[in-house]
A and B are shown apart, each in its own frame.
Chain A
């Protein structure tokens, strides 16, 4: 699984990458995930259905990440614009 964050001037940046089944990598992923949420980011997992429909799912904790998800994308929290 990859944790990505979109950033001004960068595009997406890989924050962490690993296998959630491997304890050490799981810990790294978990730490990176929490630090992003603590920094006020939103996290979404892009998903697709068998019919080819692309969707996204917001995740609020590491346990919410769907099993088999390949990536989690962090992006800044929405704010009402002018």
Chain B
């Protein structure tokens, strides 16, 4: 008896599904559903294309670089231009540590004495007003925000950041290469000891 009812139910469900499918084919719903992902992607791309203006972003970056330049000293500015990051020494008394500040990347903490990479402090400065649809500051403004926050309240910023092990976002090979570039840059820029004068003494 139960078997007969079960079979009947399966047959009924199958018949109803066939009828529903026929009606679905006749209606405009199926083509609409099929086109939905394409329309959604297209709309998103269109919106992004509308809001992104390379010229505007370039001008913003130039202004940001001028502001950064006016805040840091000549040596730091030169470091940023040539290496693409800023180095800031820790001011926390008991820690011999320094930081590399990259635009839109975590703050890399390392020990200058031995080159040991301690970790990545992930911190962002999102502007939720999103004037052009993006919360992302220009690169140099992001570095400036990190620099000002570290210079003014290092402990506060570090406590606010999410700390991760080295190599999570900045590859270890890149970090080591950047430390080597920094060491080389510092050798080039350190003041040379006064040598013998090229003008013969009389």
Number of contacting residues on A, CB 8 A?
30
With A73-B148, A78-B123: A12-B64 Cβ-Cβ less than 8 Å: yes
Please report the C-alpha to C-alpha distance between residue A7 and residue B134 in the assembled complex, in whole angstroms: 10
Question: Cβ of A52 < 8 Å from any Cβ of B?
Answer: yes
Q: Are A75 and B144 in contact (CB under 8 A)?
A: yes
Chain A neighbourhood of B149, CB < 8 A: 42, 44, 56, 58, 78
Chain B neighbourhood of A23, CB < 8 A: none
Q: Are A54 and B138 in contact (CB under 8 A)?
A: no
Number of contacting residues on B, CB 8 A?
46
Q: Are B135 and A8 in contact (CB under 8 A)?
A: yes
Give the distance to chain A from B106, nearest Cβ to Cβ, in Å.
7
With A54-B71, A78-B157: A8-B127 Cβ-Cβ less than 8 Å: yes
Question: Cβ of B122 < 8 Å from any Cβ of A?
Answer: yes
Question: Cβ of A11 < 8 Å from any Cβ of B?
Answer: yes
Chain A neighbourhood of B162, CB < 8 A: 80-82
